[in-house]
A and B are shown apart, each in its own frame.
Chain A
Amino acid sequence: MTHRYLPMTEIDKKEMLETIGINSIDELFSDIPEKVRFNGLYNIPKAKSESALLKELKQLAAKNSDTDANVSFLGAGIYNHYKPIIVDHVISRSEFYTAYTPYQPEISQGELQAIFEFQTMIAELTGMDLANSSMYDGGTSLAEAGMLAAAHTRRKKLLVSEAIHPEYRDVVATYAKGQSIEVVTIPTKDGVTDIESLKGLLDSDTAAVMVQYPNFFGQIEDIKTIGELAHDAKGLFVVSSNPLALGILTPPGKLGADITVGDAQPFGIPESFGGPYCGYFATTKQLMRKVPGRLVGETVDQEGRRGFVLTLQAREQHIRREKATSNICSNQALLALASSVAMTALGKKGVQEMAKQNIVKTRFAKNAFEAAGFEVPFQGAHFNEIVVKTKKSVQEINKNLLEKGIIGGFDLGRVYPDLENHVLIAVTELRTKEEIESLVAEMGAYNA
């Protein structure tokens, strides 16, 4: 058999076997005990030609209802945003996507500099001193923040707001179990973290208070007050934040956050059914040497030219092994590049304008829902999501909407038993006035 990815010819094979001094390739596998040797072929589908496989996979993809052909109001952590077309052109340059981790800096200056720029942009948006080179996603980044807080404070309890993304909270709980850390949920009131409850939960074993800003319901938390309470109890303050919102909102770094984490998906990354996305991890100088994952730093070469290297590696698993600050090795470098390009294209003005459009259009949707007789239970300031109460099951409503080419909001009853028949509607800059009006009208017609 010959294959386009395998350049081996019969002559090559013969010459190579001669050099090695053996007669057959099989001899190279003679050290595998007979008893465990796999003879024969895997029972998997036969190989397909390039064109036939592409056709098959396109047909499989066509079974999905995508956010390109439909109008999406689904967010809940992952959003349908404007993606500058240039992003895909940059990350398609194979010098970037076919490279490994930049451990050889002399031939990896491009990647290293791009990540250095990413770290700078994230630090700017979050108002933190520094950011790392990326984490798997917002959820695992939040979990790592919890682990750092527990190790740093030598305390064993995390207070986690109920208004943090439920799947993020689940991930925190799994990581915490490994470290025998207790996770306590701070209840919400009117769609935001209940500060009175928080006061009652804080104690001398609180390693960190963790909140989301804007929170899972789209509401903007009073993180200044929450941060002060965390610090009064000598715990760390961890904020999970949508970085797009920070184009407008006062950044966590200015409001007392010790660690700010989140997902850069709103910047140039497609929804892609759950990943790959781009977790970010930003913190203070004080915690710099405890940061998980890779950091890129500036330095000079022997001629004094500026250059970049992976630095402070004594934190990492390949040096410190079981004493490392985290086990993370591979990260999401290519997605960090994608986000960097998107943040660059949007730039100082565009990120503000895009964030503002999200707020204003969401307000338009809120007014339209209320005018159509829907209750919007949480009336605090919002970013790009609102909660709408429905008379019928959200699942049924969404089924009806899909027939009209609309992907409805997130069914909150799936994870918050108190919020049955409540839907989380996301409105980004991509949704037009007409689309919003059509959503409200369709939901209204079905809600009677």
Chain B
Amino acid sequence: MHNENQSLIFELTKEGRVGYSLPELDVEDIDLSELLPEGSIREEAAELPEVAELDIMRHYTALSRRNHGVDSGFYPLGSCTMKYNPKINENVARISGFANIHPLQDESTVQGAMELLYNLQTSLVEITGMDEVTLQPAAGAHGEWTALMMIRAFHEANGEGHRNKVIVPDSAHGTNPASAAVAGFETITVKSNEDGLVDLDDLRRVVGEDTAALMLTNPNTLGLFEENIIEMADIIHSVGGKVYYDGANLNAVMSKARPGDMGFDCVHLNLHKTFTGPHGGGGPGSGPVGVKADLIPFLPKPVLVKKEDGTFHFDYDRPQAIGRVKPYYGNFGINVRAYTYIRTMGPEGLKEVTEYAVLNANYMMRRLEPYFDLPYNRHCKHEFVLSGRRQKKLGVRTLDMAKRLLDFGYHPPTIYFPLNVEEGMMIEPTETESKETLDAFCDAMIQIAKETEENPSIVQEAPHTTVVSRLDETRAARTPVLRYQKL
């Protein structure tokens, strides 16, 4: 990475330069004042940049060199499943017959796209053990909210609209309670026990006739499989609630256990995690929702179906549907990538994905165990959580160790999450990393643990090699500067 001052694109502007090539206007030109009412033409032009094409390319190339992606190096960011993003996926999504079709074209002209979506739905039904899948939600949180709206509609249809409580474990992703709130529910938190699993007694205590649903990630955010899942589902079902599976961690159990078989009534998946649709610097995602039969009537409109004649059709005649959750049919381009991935891996491949993701995580956990505290000492699934409390006593925080990892060329693990681990570091290697990569990362972690004892300031003052040092986040929040202003 280059340690130079990086200009903003607006600072490269010079009046008179252009970076575009619009078609010639081949109809009669008309003065806009003849076509638009008075006052509707803007008086000041929008201050967009004026730069030539090479300058644009150099600008963004320079920015890309100030950014770390999976292709740049190891990215063991827990809960985010930063696996390799296959290149064939990118090519397929850009095929003109997929990239250049309009969502409102007549169905007869987009049967190929609908067939792909239908096949993806069918594969996800099999993978999740559910009865039906919608591909519409744009991301994981959107899927959570979609499913909760369905649960709400289900209870209302049964005359049980009073069910207004959604239960989430204290280790849950932040989106769970937030999605519950947007769907109009109150959140109740259930505690974890000393093994890092949901405390069944506490769960029994909080359920009741107002329970709408339990939201659960399995394995949970500690990377531990909730082995009491059958009892938990029974507890919720016995009071008439629904059990929701947050599929963020599906990479841990693909081909080993299906949410539908574990007693879950609905599930969202993150196709941008387990199924390789790239993260894109924060998005786009795709968050399909799978449901059991009794929730099918509430699926958002439209529902993609295959007709008897073998053609595909968007069904809008769904009187109990929750409505539309998104214009059109979801993030199609990401769904194309996920489908390409599933077809690339096949059934044997997906099984190996999970086995190697879990093997890699356990291997790293055991290599690092002597040097860091391991709050829950049992086999993990696809990720594990270390505690930095031993290092904290020496004056080095987990944040410092994360920043020190940057000097070794690694993206740090997820830190300070889940909330129930002091100074937590959540490490998820994924299956696409080689043993050499895992070993090199472990060596770096071990070196940092030693530095903490011998030379803590090198860790406390890290990073030393990045294009900027630690940034003043307090200043950013106190005096927000959210856009460039020409001086």
Contacts and interface: CB of A to CB of B under 8 A. Distances in A.
B157 to A, nearest CB: 13
Contacts of A168: 327
Contacts, number: 690
B158 interface: no
Interface in B225-244: 225, 227, 229-230
A194 interface: no
Contacts of B50: 347-349
A416 interface: no
B331 A312 contact: no
A86 B53 contact: yes
A280 interface: no
B71 A432 contact: no
Of B115, B187, B279, most A-chain CB atoms within 10 Å: B279
Nearest to B92: A57
A54 B91 contact: yes
A214 B479 CA distance: 35
Contact of B99 (A173, A272, A308, A432): A272
Interface in A232-266: 246-251, 254
Interface residues of A, number: 205
Interface in B87-134: 88, 90-106, 109-113, 115-116, 123, 126-127, 129
A41 B347 contact: yes
Contact of A110 (B67, B86, B110, B279): B67
Interface in A74-114: 74, 76-78, 80, 82, 84, 86, 88-90, 92-102, 104-111, 113-114
B306 interface: no
Nearest to B95: A61
A271 interface: yes
Majority DSSP secondary structure for residues of B touching A: loop
A67 B356 contact: no
A352 interface: yes
Interface in B338-379: 340, 342-353, 355-356, 358-360, 362-363, 366-367, 378-379
Q: How large is the interface on B (under 10, 10 to 19, 20 to 34, 35 or more residues)?
A: 35 or more
Contact of B432 (A6, A101, A331, A410): A6
B42 interface: yes
Contact of B182 (A43, A327, A402): A327
Contacts of B88: 50, 53-54
Contacts of A341: 56, 60
B348 to A, nearest CB: 5
Contacts of A33: 227, 229-230
A422 interface: no
A318 B101 CA distance: 36
A298 B272 CA distance: 28
Contact of A1 (B94, B141, B342, B349): B349
Nearest to A63: B112
Interface string B19-55: 1111101111110100111011111011111110100
A127 B141 CA distance: 30
B39 A348 contact: no
A220 interface: yes
18 contacts: A6-B431, A7-B435, A8-B359, A61-B112, A66-B96, A98-B85, A100-B281, A106-B463, A106-B470, A107-B466, A110-B65, A170-B301, A171-B323, A300-B471, A300-B472, A330-B141, A330-B272, A351-B46
Given A16-B435, A318-B174, 4 more contacts: A47-B344, A137-B138, A249-B42, A402-B106
**The 7 residue pairs across chains A and B that have the minimum distance between CB atoms:** A47-B346, A274-B328, A61-B97, A334-B280, A63-B112, A110-B67, A98-B69
